[in-house]
Amino acid sequence: MKILVTGGNGLVGSAIKELSLSYTENKYMFISSKDCNLKNFNETKLFFEKELPDYVIHLAACVGGLYKNMSDKVEMFEDNLLINTNVIKCCHLFKVKKLISCLSTCIFPDNVKYPINEKMLHSGKPHNSNDAYAYAKRMLDVHSKIYREQHNSNFICIIPTNVYGEHDNFSLENGHVIPALIHRCYINKKNKEPFTIKGSGKPLRQFIYSKDLARLILWSLFNYKKKENIIFSPKKEISIKEIGIKIAEVFNYKDNIIFDCSYSDGQYKKTVDNKYLLDELENSGENNFEFTTIDKGIKSTVEWFISNYNNCRKL
């Protein structure tokens, strides 16, 4: 069978690409915006018509860190609506057997009782700092649901927590927190400057290593038979301050950290419950799944970044 992965050269797509080498019975196709402009329906339709994928893992999105979400709200909203609408319509038109679309735990309501579970996605407003991105992504869930209801389509959504790892975008301004901090620590150490972390460092997050997420996505493609949304996250929370310290330790630069509290912290916490995931893994015989520790994941990511500094994404 042919499996199409949109956003195939990104953080999660690259992890799936590496893992797919073990699934030789299937043909995988990894595409980026250079291969097809998913914001354009006609171009997307022509691509699907030519390739006729059996399954689609939809990772492509207009993404960024906290400050991009705050400054580029129109782009975050409109681009994601276009991308998601075009992919879903083409999956329907060309009879894709299963579509797995990627949401994010950051799109859940701001004022909510913790821990968050899969049923709470639309139970309140998202945090103002990322509301445009969140509403666009929520519509991806709604769009998948109404295709299931009207056409019995096997279109489901997975909801990973904060993803990090090799092949990320290490942009200082638009990257997510871990890659941005890795790049900043690299530059600060090189220039013998304090390692400056934006905000107080107090917010708490759950992080999932990209290779763990890749394993769970392929598990959901082949072994998850239900059509309900499912959260992919380890249980443990960690503060941004602790993340910064762990990154600085890998760089051997932990005694030179400062926090710039003139920057917003964004949402303080987004604690999610992974009980449903753990139950489903056990039910499918995958009860030995273990998440990569944050120390090991950060160390691998930092080492990859240093080795690939000249060629990795930093915009």
Enumerate the active-site residues. Answer: 133
Both structure tokens of 94: 């060309």
**SS3 for 53-120, per residue?**
CCEEEECCCCCCCHHHHHHCHHHHHHHHHHHHHHHHHHHHHCCCCEEEEECCHHHCECCCCCCECHHH
d(CA 277, CA 13): 21
- The CA-CA-CA angle for residues 294, 298, 303, to 5°, reads 155
DSSP-derived secondary structure letter, 313: B
CA angle 206, 209, 213 (to 5 degrees): 100
315, with CB counted inside 10 A (0-12, 13-18, 19+), is exposed
Q: How far apart are CA 278 and CA 61, in angstroms?
A: 27
Half-sphere exposure of 151 (CA within 13 A, CB side): 17
DSSP 144-197: HHHHHHHH---EEEEEE-EEE-TT-B--TTTS-HHHHHHHHHHHHHHTT--EEE
Closest CA to 181 of 236, 257, 96, 91: 257
Q: Structure tokens of 311? A: 């060629």
